[in-house]
Amino acid sequence: MKSKIYHFTALLLAMAVMLGAISVPGSAQVSLSGVSGSSDEAADSAVPVALPKDLTPETIRQLVSTLSDQQVRQLLLERLDAVAAQEGASGAQGPGTLEFLGSSLLGVVGLVEDAVFGIPQILSRLHEAGTQYVDERGGSGLLKVTAYFAVAIVIGLLAENVVTRLASKWRRQIEDMQAPDGLLQTLEVLGKRLLLELGGLLVFFAVTRAVIELLAPVNDRPLLPLLMTNLIVMPRLSIAITRFLFAPTRPDLRLVTTDDWTAKFIFRQQLGIILLIGLANVIIGFQELQGIPFTDSALGFWLLLISILWLCYTLYRARHGLSSIVLGGDDEATMLERGVALAYPWFAIVSVLLTWLVVEMILAAGRFDLIDDGQGYYTVGILLFAPVFDTMVRGLVKHLVPPMRGEGALAEAAYRSTKRSYVRIGRALLATFIVVAIANVWHIDYSNLATAGLGVRIAANMFEILFIVAAGYLVWEVVTLWINRKLADEQTAAGLDLEAEEPGGGEGGGVGGTRLSTVLPLVKIAAQVSIITITVLIALGNMGIDITPLLAGAGIVGLAIGFGAQTLVRDIVSGLFFLFDDAFRVGEYLEIDGTVGTVERISIRSLQLRHHQGPVHTIPYGEIPKVTNNSRDWVIVKLKFTVPFDTDVNKVKKLFKQIGKDIMEAPYAEDIIQTFKSQGVYDVNDVGIIVRGKFMAKPGKQWMIRKDVYARVQKIFAENGIEFARREVRVKMPEAEESQDNAGASGAAAAAQAAIQEQVEQEMVEAGAKPA
């Protein structure tokens, strides 16, 4: 019987220990209160039971053997009550979002009321802290502390002066530098000046701190570093950083694009704000060292509020200069970039106010641990320095972007597009960096978000979705950048000119692009659609949505579209085969079933031909029976000239040969494949001898060469006394009496009119047209 009771008691104790370990881990001691029973059991139950740290079967048996039945029952009841209380707390629904925001804002209102009513106590709290400090140390003690601090500052400044003297070469180089050549030299000069200032400040801080540790009493050591850090080190650090970025006295070294007034104004105002914040930290820290928590004094609230309002005032006064910083002096900025630049100062003001409100809401909730590292200051600093980071991105792009390849308007447009793509990629990375930096400032642990509550899990999903969208956007920009650069290279190599008013010199048949330049726009569209689709599917899957039905539904919809739009499918398939066969390219001059024009645009289902007179013809691929390409590889132009019957044909042949030599020295000589030469007598008619010449040129270049050849032939014929043959009408008039002169003139006019009409009809017959 005792054995059964022992095992039963051990089982109950094990359950209690397990429940206690699950519900309240880390509790090492439990107090037991007595219940009804024997006096010995009541006495035993009043004794606290120390649970061993390592709960093993052996330690449990050993513990059970030393406990009474009353102690075991009491331990089990307490563990069960603890488990029930924890389950009730976890099962209770927390406040909703609106309720939480409402309570937080009410808490902020309460803080403001406390600060207003606590204004009369500010001086009394300061007097209390000062009196307590003087009472503890006495008048002589206060003088000694002041002397220690002064000696430490003097020794630190002397050590800093020694370091700066060792770097006198750098100082002279910085002072003598005038109008640095380029960004790299500017960064070199500013970097050396910043290193000098930071190095001297570091030596000052280290030496001063060492002297304080050696001389100052133990109870004063926390106060003196507090004074030095907030009133000396931090202001000097802000001065060094601001001088590096804004160079208020050296416009030639200024990294950001702004005017002198804005640079000097921001430099002065930020120094004042830093000093005010440092003074607030010193006063609050001094009161805490004297045992007065900062929540008992309204001074901290008002100093922080004054610094926030001062910062907002600075942003408002310098709004035009801040907009110019964001714009970066970019004359090619888009309307969106200009709008963002104008809106940034107001965004900064709102961000500062919202950060202050969040900090006050945290203080109202009593979570001082969330802001004990100055998270609010860091957040505001990161948001305010975003334009400076953007300036750094643009500066890096100017040096990282590849140089312009080729010449002309097309190459310049491609270069500008490449720069904008690099800037957008840099800004996307910068935005990701800012989000991650702010999350780290507030100690947001991404690995623990998934196991947190519902609201935190939703926030975690939003973070992940933002990262997915950012990654998709980066892939979009990189792919688009590569395709655009490749397309620009192909078009530049093909000799396309964006400034040409009429492709082909007004006659059609402009320069055709390469096969790759024809296919790349379609590849770009397909790649962009694929990136968007994949990004959306991954984001939906991250939100917990099963994307398998979506994929199946997309397949079914695609099949239904395929059956219902057979003509569309025929056009797309025909277009793919035309592209595979390399039947035409952008810029080539085609003839399709009587329709002529230059290929201006190729889409998935059709192409557009622009006639040299302006009209645009859109032809679906499925309706193309035959394609005649007049711009592939080369063109031959044959020119005919009619000379009188008595012309020396051999002389004409020599003149044509001379023209062929001359045009090979013209600016367009590289566009000639075979120079102009004579083909001899082509035909003889009733007017004269028809001689012909020809040349071979690159497609689209023949019209300019033809015009020049016509002009040269006319000039050289005139110089050598050769005239062009032309049709003549001769009318023979019979002799008549003077009284019949009028009738003879009328008859001559009628005869001339009939001859002209006969000549016109003959020319129309030769041209293949039907006379009217």
pLDDT in tens, 130-153: 888 878 777 677 788 888 888 989
Region 748-771: mean pLDDT is 54
C-alpha 306/C-alpha 304 separation (Å) is 5
If asked whether residues 616 and 520 sit together in one domain, one would say yes
Q: Are 492 and 417 in contact (CB under 8 A)?
A: no
In a domain, 301, yes or no: no
Domain boundary among 246, 271, 296: 271
In the predicted structure, residue 543 carries a pLDDT above the cut 50: yes
**Of residues 505 and 595, more confidently modeled:** 595
Q: What local confidence, expressed as pLDDT, does residue 81 receive?
A: 65
Q: What local confidence, expressed as pLDDT, does residue 632 receive?
A: 76
Q: Write the CA distances from 534 to 129, 421, 472, 478, integer angstroms.
A: 64, 21, 8, 16
**Of residues 319 and 334, more confidently modeled:** 319
Domain boundary among 249, 271, 293: 271
In a domain, 448, yes or no: no
Greatest alpha-carbon span in the chain: 174
3-state secondary structure string, 39-97? Answer: HHHHHHHCCCEECCCCCCHHHHHHHHHHCCHHHHHHHHHHHHHHHHHHHHHHHCCCCCH
DSSP letters, 243-266, are: HHHH-TT-GGG--S---HHHHHHH
In the predicted structure, residue 684 carries a pLDDT above the cut 70: yes
In the predicted structure, residue 738 carries a pLDDT above the cut 60: no
Q: Each residue of 13-55: pLDDT tens digit?
A: 444 443 343 333 333 333 333 333 444 444 444 455 566 656 6
Q: What local confidence, expressed as pLDDT, does residue 768 receive?
A: 46
Domain boundary among 271, 288, 311: 271
| Cβ-based neighbours of 47, under 8 Å, separated by 6 or more | 32, 71
In the predicted structure, residue 98 carries a pLDDT above the cut 70: no
Query: Residue written as tokens 């190095």?
Result: 199
In a domain, 87, yes or no: yes
C-alpha 297/C-alpha 122 separation (Å) is 6
The burial of 641, by beta-carbon neighbours within 10 Å (0-12 exposed, 13-18 middle, 19 or more buried), is given as buried
What is the DSSP code (8-state) at residue 451? Answer: T
Q: Each residue of 352-409: pLDDT tens digit?
A: 898 888 888 877 777 666 676 777 777 887 878 787 788 778 777 777 777 776 666 6
| Cβ-based neighbours of 472, under 8 Å, separated by 6 or more | 531, 532, 534, 535, 538
If asked whether residues 141 and 238 sit together in one domain, one would say yes
In the predicted structure, residue 110 carries a pLDDT above the cut 90: no
If asked whether residues 557 and 606 sit together in one domain, one would say yes
Region 684-693: mean pLDDT is 86
C-alpha 660/C-alpha 693 separation (Å) is 10
Cα 125 to the center of its chain, rounded Å = 51
The burial of 287, by beta-carbon neighbours within 10 Å (0-12 exposed, 13-18 middle, 19 or more buried), is given as buried
Domain hosting 20: range is 2-91
Q: Each residue of 72-93: pLDDT tens digit?
A: 666 666 666 665 565 554 444 4
Region 537-564: mean pLDDT is 68
If asked whether residues 640 and 616 sit together in one domain, one would say no
- H or E stretch at 601: strand 595-602
Q: Are 700 and 631 in contact (CB under 8 A)?
A: yes
In a domain, 458, yes or no: no
If asked whether residues 505 and 625 sit together in one domain, one would say yes
Across 176-190, 283-297, 746-760, least confident range: 746-760
In the predicted structure, residue 459 carries a pLDDT above the cut 60: no
In the predicted structure, residue 454 carries a pLDDT above the cut 60: no
**Of residues 457 and 106, more confidently modeled:** 106
Q: What local confidence, expressed as pLDDT, does residue 204 receive?
A: 92
610: β partners: 598, 616
If asked whether residues 585 and 504 sit together in one domain, one would say yes
Region 58-63: mean pLDDT is 68
In the predicted structure, residue 502 carries a pLDDT above the cut 50: no
If asked whether residues 605 and 681 sit together in one domain, one would say no
In a domain, 338, yes or no: no
The rounded mean pLDDT for the chain is 74
pLDDT over 70, % of the chain: 68
Q: Most confidently modeled of 364-378, 682-696, 732-746, 751-765?
A: 682-696
Helix (H, G, I), strand (E, B) or coil at 665: coil
If asked whether residues 141 and 267 sit together in one domain, one would say yes
Q: Are 510 and 698 in contact (CB under 8 A)?
A: no
Q: Write the CA distances from 714 to 547, 640, 652, 657, 675, integer angstroms.
A: 75, 12, 12, 14, 18
If asked whether residues 661 and 760 sit together in one domain, one would say no
- H or E stretch at 442: none
Across 19-28, 48-57, 261-270, 461-470, least confident range: 19-28
Region 407-422: mean pLDDT is 71
Q: Are 370 and 444 in contact (CB under 8 A)?
A: no
In a domain, 115, yes or no: no
In a domain, 185, yes or no: yes
C-alpha 292/C-alpha 764 separation (Å) is 113
Neighbours of 131 (CB within 10 A): 11
Give the CATH number for residue 681.
Answer: 3.30.70.100
If asked whether residues 149 and 243 sit together in one domain, one would say yes
Q: What local confidence, expressed as pLDDT, does residue 767 receive?
A: 45
If asked whether residues 615 and 674 sit together in one domain, one would say no
Q: Most confidently modeled of 106-115, 193-202, 453-462, 613-622?
A: 193-202
Region 677-705: mean pLDDT is 85
Half-sphere exposure of 6 (CA within 13 A, CB side): 9
Task: Band the pLDDT of 341: cuts 50, 70, 90.
Answer: confident
If asked whether residues 188 and 160 sit together in one domain, one would say yes
* Beta pairing class for 49-50 and 29-30: antiparallel
Q: Most confidently modeled of 263-272, 382-391, 590-599, 616-625?
A: 263-272
In a domain, 142, yes or no: yes
C-alpha 570/C-alpha 576 separation (Å) is 10
Q: What local confidence, expressed as pLDDT, does residue 43 receive?
A: 45
Number of domains within the chain: 5
Q: What local confidence, expressed as pLDDT, does residue 752 receive?
A: 56
- Reading the block at residue 76, the tokens are 């089990």
